[in-house]
Amino acid sequence: MQIGCVQLLDFRNYRTLSYRPSGRLNLLTGRNAQGKTNALEAVGVLLTGRSFRTTRLAELPHWGAEAAVLTGELQRSEGTRAIRRVLQRRENGTWQASGESCPWARVIAFGWQDLAIVHGGPSARRAFIDGCAARLYPSHLPALLRYRRLLEQRNRMLQTRASAERLAPWDEQVATVGMEMIDRRRRAVAALHAELTRVYPAVSGEPQKVQIGYRSVVGEATEPAALVAALEQARPVELRRGQTLVGPHRDDLAIELDGVDARAFGSRGQQRLLALALRLAEVLPVTEAAGTAPVLLLDDALSELDPGVRDNALREIQAAEQVFLTSPEPLVVSGAARWVVEGGGIAAA
Ligand SMILES: Nc1ncnc2c1ncn2[C@@H]1O[C@H](COP(=O)(O)OP(=O)(O)O)[C@@H](O)[C@H]1O
Ligand SMILES: [Mg+2]
């Protein structure tokens, strides 16, 4: 899929913008704080209703504005579709987003915060794999929200020191939804792994063996009963702490290069490269699942990479369909559309 045009009204530092990007690679350059990341964020919000860098809607409208409006046109081989999002301030001061999501619209975003997938704590890796699983399987996000609500309720029961009999039905529900989540995460990991073993060496230029695996409290088990058993075993400690301590909300990913944990491995450049490769590895599985290629939003994805690795990454990026790539300094790439971002405007370079 491609986004044919974007119109913004009062989004971040864009007061009004009308932008017609290329259907292939778009290079956005410009000095700091001019609106490069904001432009990518706008495309992501327009397509998915969510920002890849904040969960707080209130940050997105131009300061002092009562509303932000994003409109555009999506194109795929079967036809085009208009899309519109409105962020509006409610009377109580909170913000709400409205606008219908297009069922086949997918965005894969990369930004500096993705370094945390490689060197951060487990929650960054869980967020990564949940995002990926949600792009592959639309039922993942609702299940995730349901699981969180169940956990909150179960935690409240633990805090009141509920009896084993009263906890049992909650354990069953948590285990059923939890196991569904684990299953989709495992399938997402398997799909990513297959592509990652191709993408990472292609970009690094070295025949390194890269591995990503799912690490769960239930090991390789696939039945909810395994999670029920783990909950029962953890129960004495859980009652003391008033918290559910086992389940997918505590699972992790193992990411290894040549058998070494990537967290302990290599330079920042290598960690960035691995984070980028993880995002690029999503492109093919997401294309197959959605029936159309995702739009790539790559924020400053090539900085800190060696020149040869940069060229390899560009080749990989250009194999995707529509891409928005920002860079502080101009990049020379044949066939790419070049744009200069300045003071909340985008002009052809
Ligand atoms: N809600 C907002 N309203 C107006 N300006 C904003 C808002 N949020 C961020 N900005 C401004 O946007 C600019 C940063 O844009 P950004 O896209 O992050 O820059 P860069 O080109 O470096 O990626 C900063 O000048 C910041 O003050
Ligand atoms: Mg930026």
pLDDT score recorded for residue 47 = 96
pLDDT score recorded for residue 267 = 78
CA of 34 to the centre of ligand 1 (A): 7
Percent of all residues in the chain with a pLDDT value above 90, rounded to a whole number: 93
Question: Long-range contacts made by residues 52-59, C-beta under 8 angstroms, separation at least 24?
Answer: 52/107, 52/109, 52/111, 52/297, 53/111, 53/113, 57/87, 57/95, 57/96, 57/97, 58/94, 58/95
How far apart are alpha carbons 254 and 29 in whole angstroms?
A: 35
CA of 31 to the centre of ligand 2 (A): 9
| HSE-CB for 167 with a 13 A CA cutoff | 26
Confidence of residue 264 (pLDDT cuts 50, 70, 90): confident
**160 contacts: CB under 8 Å, gap ≥ 6:** none
Q: Whose CA is nearest to atom 18 of ligand 1?
A: 37
The CATH number assigned to the domain holding 157 equals 1.20.1050.90
**170 contacts: CB under 8 Å, gap ≥ 6:** 150, 153, 154, 157
For residue 340, the ligand closest to its alpha carbon is 1
pLDDT score recorded for residue 232 = 95
Cβ–Cβ under 8 Å, residues 99 and 85: yes
269 pLDDT more than 90 = no
Cβ–Cβ under 8 Å, residues 27 and 333: yes
pLDDT score recorded for residue 151 = 97
Q: 28-43, pLDDT tens digit by residue?
A: 999 999 999 999 999 9
Cβ–Cβ under 8 Å, residues 222 and 173: no
Q: Are residues 143 and 245 in the same domain?
A: yes
Confidence of residue 332 (pLDDT cuts 50, 70, 90): confident
Q: Are residues 118 and 38 in the same domain?
A: no
Q: Are residues 195 and 247 in the same domain?
A: yes
Q: Are residues 282 and 297 in the same domain?
A: no
Question: Where among 241, 258, 291 does a domain terminate?
Answer: 291
pLDDT score recorded for residue 101 = 85
DSSP string, 15-63: EEEEE---SSEEEEE-STTSSHHHHHHHHHHHHHSS-SS-S-GGGSBPT
Question: Where among 270, 291, 312 does a domain terminate?
Answer: 291
Which mutation among 8, 9, 11, 12 tests ligand 1's pocket best, with the greatest number of atoms within 8 A of CB? 12
pLDDT score recorded for residue 263 = 84
The response to whether residue 33 sits with its C-beta less than 6 Å from ligand 1 reads yes
Question: Where among 291, 312, 328 does a domain terminate?
Answer: 291
For residue 35, the ligand closest to its alpha carbon is 1
Q: 182-207, pLDDT tens digit by residue?
A: 999 999 999 999 999 999 999 999 99
Question: What's the mean pLDDT in 253-262?
Answer: 92
Q: 68-93, pLDDT tens digit by residue?
A: 999 999 999 899 999 999 999 999 98
The CATH number assigned to the domain holding 317 equals 3.40.50.300
State the CB neighbour count (10 A cutoff) for residue 334: 6
CA of 37 to the centre of ligand 1 (A): 8
Burial per residue of 21-54, b for 16 or more beta-carbon CB atoms within 10 angstroms, e otherwise: bbeebbbbbbeeebbbbbbbbbbbbbbbbbbbbe
Q: Are residues 272 and 126 in the same domain?
A: yes
Mean pLDDT estimate for the chain: 95
Q: Are residues 45 and 147 in the same domain?
A: no
3-state class (DSSP) for residue 129? helix
CA of 46 to the centre of ligand 2 (A): 18
How far apart are alpha carbons 179 and 29 in whole angstroms?
A: 44
Q: Are residues 120 and 254 in the same domain?
A: yes
Quick one: tokens of 199? 């993408």
Q: 4-13, pLDDT tens digit by residue?
A: 999 999 999 9
Question: What's the mean pLDDT in 36-61?
Answer: 96
Q: 204-240, pLDDT tens digit by residue?
A: 999 989 999 999 999 999 999 999 999 999 999 999 9
Residue 202: domain span: 113-291
- Where is 191: in which H helix or E strand? helix 164-204
120 pLDDT more than 90 = yes
pLDDT score recorded for residue 262 = 87
| Nearest in space to 303 (alpha carbons), one of 324, 280, 329 | 329
pLDDT score recorded for residue 202 = 97
For residue 14, the ligand closest to its alpha carbon is 1
Q: Are residues 62 and 118 in the same domain?
A: no
| Nearest in space to 147 (alpha carbons), one of 111, 115, 184 | 184
Confidence of residue 304 (pLDDT cuts 50, 70, 90): confident
Atom of ligand 1 nearest to the CA of 41: 17
Q: Whose CA is nearest to atom 19 of ligand 1?
A: 33
Q: Are residues 277 and 297 in the same domain?
A: no
Q: Are residues 202 and 285 in the same domain?
A: yes
Residues facing residue 117 across a β-bridge: none
**303 contacts: CB under 8 Å, gap ≥ 6:** 272, 327, 328
50 pLDDT more than 90 = yes
Number of independent structural domains in the chain: 2
Q: Are residues 325 and 252 in the same domain?
A: no
Alpha-carbon torsion angle 202, 204, 206, 211, nearest 10: -80
Strand 252-257's sheet: what is its strand order?
210-215, 252-257, 260-261
265 pLDDT more than 80 = no
Q: Which of 151-160, 194-203, 241-250, 325-334 has the lowest mean pLDDT?
A: 325-334
Residue 293 sits at φ, ψ, to 5 deg, of: -70, 145
CA of 17 to the centre of ligand 1 (A): 14
How far apart are alpha carbons 23 and 34 in whole angstroms?
A: 23
pLDDT score recorded for residue 313 = 96
Q: Are residues 175 and 270 in the same domain?
A: yes
